[in-house]
Chains A and B, each alone.
Chain A
């Protein structure tokens, strides 16, 4: 058995006051000055923890109140109320919701997975990743207990081209060429950020985090400088400029390089490989309706790894864009039908916002995923996108300490890792590799709605 992959976490406190969902509003006018104010009876000691004078008017947005409503319900003159925090409601957008963003903050701060009491309180289903459920095992199939550490569930995946058979020479020696393969202990790589405040500190946090986790961060060729050089073993250089400009030594020591799709991609792949035979080359493709055909062509020409990228909302290019999970399913099944799916590695990225999205995209056919915005959110980003306009970052991300930043990223990934174990354990699957394409162990909204509800109200 390989050594168990364990991610060390440590509390990494926020730098800024957290934006929480609700606050307490209390009026002073009409206060009866009770001998014992109900605020003193707070089970969570909100008023004491915040050093507030309970005789004072307060209009407080706080992070300690747990919404038990006892003070609201017990104040004799009904002077205490709860209110939604307006700055919480405007966090992010329709896709990167306040719930998702604050959930990422919590995980990055603590390294723990979100746990709560009572049942699920969200919508029945939703678009995209919310339109599917994952399976569990019961009675006839054993589950696996990965989360409490009693069984080993591997989250390792391989990046590269796989050989389908081995050929042996007369003396039993292997004569078929074995293409290079890079193993990552977690099916996640860090992608180029769609936007971020300028400077080295954010990329350094990502690289630092990637090194601690044993995975990779993609970094543009143009962004390579002395500051990041130390981390190159955990970097995937994206050749977005002239490939001739790449430093030969850099190329020789690199393990993975990413190149854009387009005319001459395979030729470039071969040229890079001729300089470094141990190199794995990824081809970055923008997801579109043409992807299945393009993927087939590229695989036939010898592509090893395809990195299929949607936009930050998980949408492909073109009119009436499909969501990444739908298109990825199609690409995967298309390559399965052509009998070549197992030869290559498919990476999917764009719109991955939660741990469950990682598991679900893998079920829909990705070997591994790439993430971007969650890495910023780990460092308290509020997804306001002001940096795109050149406006200064409200949480001063350009000034982030890479050590702290990487701690937060590592915490977030530890929480995601644990959540992947929960999903795998419940399904009784012991390897992330075997989760890939397991659509039969998932339930899709469209199928279930058609099967169950479409006939309602019909007689006979």
Chain B
């Protein structure tokens, strides 16, 4: 990776007037507007006001835990006019997988590019299993014989490990951005993601919905998707890109097809998908041309023939025999197999499918990694994990469980201030202007802002990954792959087995 420079972090505050934070600050009438709070708060929570200061950035407040500091405003205020309490709305936010703290922590990273200072848990959720029960065992910092500095650590991964004559494709971060079609998200969301991918030197997938011409400036960083509906798939779109992805299944609705409601099929969407505006579009399940590994190979060969330079990725879900599916994908000639776990996102899917069908990625990935190792082909194919990766820690953990890298979707949307209300499909679409094709709602977001938020968040993720690697004494993320020994599951590890600290 020569000549690549990571993008600059620029502050990108909430596009709404009041950012959502854990604490709520009220200033009573006793305030004399002396300005002390504005002066002493190192986090810039307060702004000068005409009658009294405004707590315009209360989401940056440390809350009552600040009381140990000499800059604790509530204590220092001469009139004791400042009251800091939990924000009542915070309780309503989020869910078990993305609790309010993880949302707020992610927003903080997207705003500042830095790790949250407010004591928010930005590493795990509250799901009670999987990632949320797994920790790194990090050696005591002085335990390393030779300290590694940040600059020595590579987070790059190679996507073409097959040894064939196709180009090598290296990305400087072990992540790319997953498929979200035009139609399911707005053009601003789509372009923000694509432009962030360019800045980070990685890729962004189109999803199944065609290749909008606005994306054509970013061809080298686009993955185009061939899914079961074949919407918007044309020879020229296949030829434009460096990676083509077959979507066999999607973790959020494994075994089920896609369904774009008629309301979302605007003339623009319809034109791109070569369909009729206003009529619902079904993406069938499965590919009716693929019922065997041999059929699968024909599919892969077809793409390879049309674009002789492209790498082929195969996106599959996680059934009981996910290991066989992965091995089949390798023999069919895929360069990348993307395993999409059952807790992944979607525009709309039956709750019964999201919760119950197919297995979480934390199970599927180790299964496949170990199986491919035993088959002797693990180093010939790139494994990408997706469907439930929410944080830098999830990413690092799944790599230690056998993935080469990860593919993200929901995290990007959270960076764009998705609050996971789960109503992507209701009415005119996403009320926050992310997953919508409504013009007025789309205008709620600006392209520069969206791009920067995603860059900021992944820059913060990369810094965390580098820190984990450094603590583990590793110089490259490739060394972390399949290192189950550096992980602990809180339910099964015994205290005496832990050498170091859990993180």
- B424 near A117 (CB under 8 angstroms)? yes
Instruction: Across the interface, name the chain B residue whose C-beta is closest to A78.
Output: B18
Query: Per-residue 0/1 for A76-118: is the Cβ within 8 Å of any B Cβ (1 yes, 0 no)?
Result: 1010011110000000000000000001000000000111111
> Is A137 interfacial (CB 8 A cutoff)?
yes
Query: Per-residue 0/1 for B413-443: is the Cβ within 8 Å of any A Cβ (1 yes, 0 no)?
Result: 1000011111111111001100100000100
A117 in complex: contacting residue of B248, B347, B367, CB < 8 Å: B347
> Is B290 interfacial (CB 8 A cutoff)?
yes
> Is B106 interfacial (CB 8 A cutoff)?
no
A441 in complex: contacting residue of B320, B367, B387, B431, CB < 8 Å: B320
Residues of A within 8 A of B352 (CB): 113-114, 354-356, 419, 422-423
- B18 near A138 (CB under 8 angstroms)? no
- B356 near A133 (CB under 8 angstroms)? yes
- B431 near A70 (CB under 8 angstroms)? yes
Q: Name which of B35-43, B281-289, B301-309 contacts chain A.
A: B281-289
A139 in complex: contacting residue of B19, B284, B328, CB < 8 Å: B328
Most buried by B among A43, A120, A454, A455: A120
Complexed CA–CA distance, A274 and B257 (Å): 52
B92 in complex: contacting residue of A67, A70, A119, CB < 8 Å: A67
CB contacts under 8 Å to B, within A256-285, are none
Query: Per-residue 0/1 for B343-370: is the Cβ within 8 Å of any A Cβ (1 yes, 0 no)?
Result: 1111111111111111110110011000
Complexed CA–CA distance, A427 and B255 (Å): 7
> Is B89 interfacial (CB 8 A cutoff)?
yes
Given A43-B428, A66-B431, A120-B342, also A25-B88 (CB < 8 A): yes
Q: Is the interface of B mostly helix, strand, loop or mixed?
A: loop
Given A117-B347, A119-B410, also A422-B96 (CB < 8 A): no
Given A70-B16, A78-B18, A147-B256, also A136-B356 (CB < 8 A): no
Q: Name which of A122-130, A247-255, A321-329, A393-401 contacts chain B.
A: A122-130
- A118 near B422 (CB under 8 angstroms)? yes
B351 in complex: contacting residue of A68, A73, A115, A148, CB < 8 Å: A115
Given A74-B17, A119-B346, A419-B350, also A143-B91 (CB < 8 A): no
CB distance from B420 to the nearest CB of A (A): 5
CB distance from A418 to the nearest CB of B (A): 8
- A138 near B20 (CB under 8 angstroms)? no
- A66 near B421 (CB under 8 angstroms)? yes
Instruction: Across the interface, name the chain A residue whose C-beta is closest to B484.
Output: A456
B20 in complex: contacting residue of A72, A423, A442, CB < 8 Å: A72
> Is B132 interfacial (CB 8 A cutoff)?
yes
- A84 near B488 (CB under 8 angstroms)? no
Q: Name which of B194-202, B377-385, B456-464, B490-498 contacts chain A.
A: B490-498
- B418 near A118 (CB under 8 angstroms)? yes
- A458 near B485 (CB under 8 angstroms)? yes
Given A69-B419, A138-B317, A456-B488, also A123-B129 (CB < 8 A): yes
Instruction: Across the interface, name the chain B residue whose C-beta is closest to A103.
Output: B351
CB distance from A70 to the nearest CB of B (A): 6
A115 in complex: contacting residue of B20, B348, B367, CB < 8 Å: B348
A interface residues, tally (CB under 8 Å): 77
- B96 near A457 (CB under 8 angstroms)? no
- A137 near B286 (CB under 8 angstroms)? yes
- B325 near A138 (CB under 8 angstroms)? yes
Complexed CA–CA distance, A455 and B91 (Å): 36
Instruction: Across the interface, name the chain A residue whose C-beta is closest to B129.
Output: A124
CB distance from B363 to the nearest CB of A (A): 5
- B353 near A83 (CB under 8 angstroms)? no
Query: Per-residue 0/1 for B288-300: is the Cβ within 8 Å of any A Cβ (1 yes, 0 no)?
Result: 0011110010000
- A133 near B342 (CB under 8 angstroms)? yes
CB distance from A432 to the nearest CB of B (A): 15
CB contacts under 8 Å to B, within A33-69, are 43-44, 66-69
- A124 near B353 (CB under 8 angstroms)? no
Residues of B within 8 A of A21 (CB): 92
B349 in complex: contacting residue of A72, A116, A143, A354, CB < 8 Å: A116
Given A143-B255, A145-B285, also A136-B319 (CB < 8 A): yes
Most buried by B among A82, A126, A451: A82
Most buried by A among B248, B296, B344, B356: B356
Complexed CA–CA distance, A430 and B344 (Å): 27
> Is A121 interfacial (CB 8 A cutoff)?
yes
- A125 near B285 (CB under 8 angstroms)? no
> Is B123 interfacial (CB 8 A cutoff)?
no
- A118 near B285 (CB under 8 angstroms)? no
Query: Per-residue 0/1 for A424-460: is the Cβ within 8 Å of any B Cβ (1 yes, 0 no)?
Result: 0111100000000000111100001101111111111
- B350 near A140 (CB under 8 angstroms)? no
Given A139-B328, A148-B257, A452-B362, also A443-B348 (CB < 8 A): no
- B410 near A118 (CB under 8 angstroms)? yes
Residues of B within 8 A of A460 (CB): 485
Given A120-B342, A138-B319, also A456-B292 (CB < 8 A): no
Residues of B within 8 A of A117 (CB): 345-349, 422-425, 435
- A120 near B97 (CB under 8 angstroms)? yes
- B423 near A66 (CB under 8 angstroms)? yes
Q: Is the interface of A mostly helix, strand, loop or mixed?
A: loop
CB distance from A85 to the nearest CB of B (A): 10
> Is A22 interfacial (CB 8 A cutoff)?
yes
> Is A156 interfacial (CB 8 A cutoff)?
no
CB contacts under 8 Å to A, within B1-39, are 14, 16-20, 24
Complexed CA–CA distance, A362 and B132 (Å): 31
- A423 near B356 (CB under 8 angstroms)? yes
Instruction: Across the interface, name the chain B residue whose C-beta is closest to A129.
Output: B356
- B17 near A76 (CB under 8 angstroms)? yes
CB distance from B131 to the nearest CB of A (A): 8
> Is B263 interfacial (CB 8 A cutoff)?
no
Query: Per-residue 0/1 for B241-283: is the Cβ within 8 Å of any A Cβ (1 yes, 0 no)?
Result: 0000000110010111100000000000000000000000010
Complexed CA–CA distance, A198 and B344 (Å): 46
- A136 near B357 (CB under 8 angstroms)? yes
> Is A134 interfacial (CB 8 A cutoff)?
yes
CB distance from A49 to the nearest CB of B (A): 12
Complexed CA–CA distance, A449 and B96 (Å): 20
Given A119-B344, A136-B249, also A457-B285 (CB < 8 A): no
Instruction: Across the interface, name the chain B residue whose C-beta is closest to A416.
Output: B352
> Is B216 interfacial (CB 8 A cutoff)?
no
Residues of A within 8 A of B252 (CB): 119-120
Complexed CA–CA distance, A138 and B251 (Å): 12
A83 in complex: contacting residue of B91, B129, B134, B497, CB < 8 Å: B91
Residues of B within 8 A of A76 (CB): 17
Query: Per-residue 0/1 for B135-176: is the Cβ within 8 Å of any A Cβ (1 yes, 0 no)?
Result: 001000000000000000000000000000000000000000
- A135 near B16 (CB under 8 angstroms)? no
Residues of B within 8 A of A75 (CB): 17-18
- B316 near A67 (CB under 8 angstroms)? no
* Chain B residues in the interface with A (C-beta under 8 A): 14, 16-20, 24, 87-89, 91-98, 127-130, 132-134, 137, 248-249, 252, 254-257, 282, 284-286, 290-293, 296, 316-317, 319-320, 324-325, 328, 342-360, 362-363, 366-367, 387-388, 410, 413, 418-428, 431-432, 435, 441, 484-489, 491-493, 497-498
* Chain A residues in the interface with B (C-beta under 8 A): 21-22, 25, 43-44, 66-70, 72-76, 78, 81-84, 103, 113-126, 133-143, 145, 147-148, 354-356, 359-360, 419, 422-423, 425-428, 440-443, 448-449, 451-460
22 residue pairs bridging A and B, Cβ less than 8 Å apart: A21-B92, A67-B419, A73-B17, A74-B16, A74-B18, A82-B89, A117-B346, A117-B349, A118-B345, A118-B418, A119-B97, A119-B388, A136-B254, A137-B286, A137-B319, A138-B254, A140-B293, A354-B352, A422-B353, A448-B359, A456-B493, A457-B487
The 8 nearest A-B residue pairs measured at CB: A426-B255, A117-B424, A124-B129, A121-B95, A136-B255, A68-B431, A73-B16, A120-B354
**Extra 18 A-B pairs, beta carbons < 8 Å, given A120-B97, A457-B489:** A25-B88, A44-B426, A68-B419, A68-B432, A69-B89, A69-B421, A72-B89, A74-B18, A81-B89, A113-B350, A135-B320, A137-B319, A138-B319, A140-B291, A425-B256, A451-B363, A454-B492, A456-B489
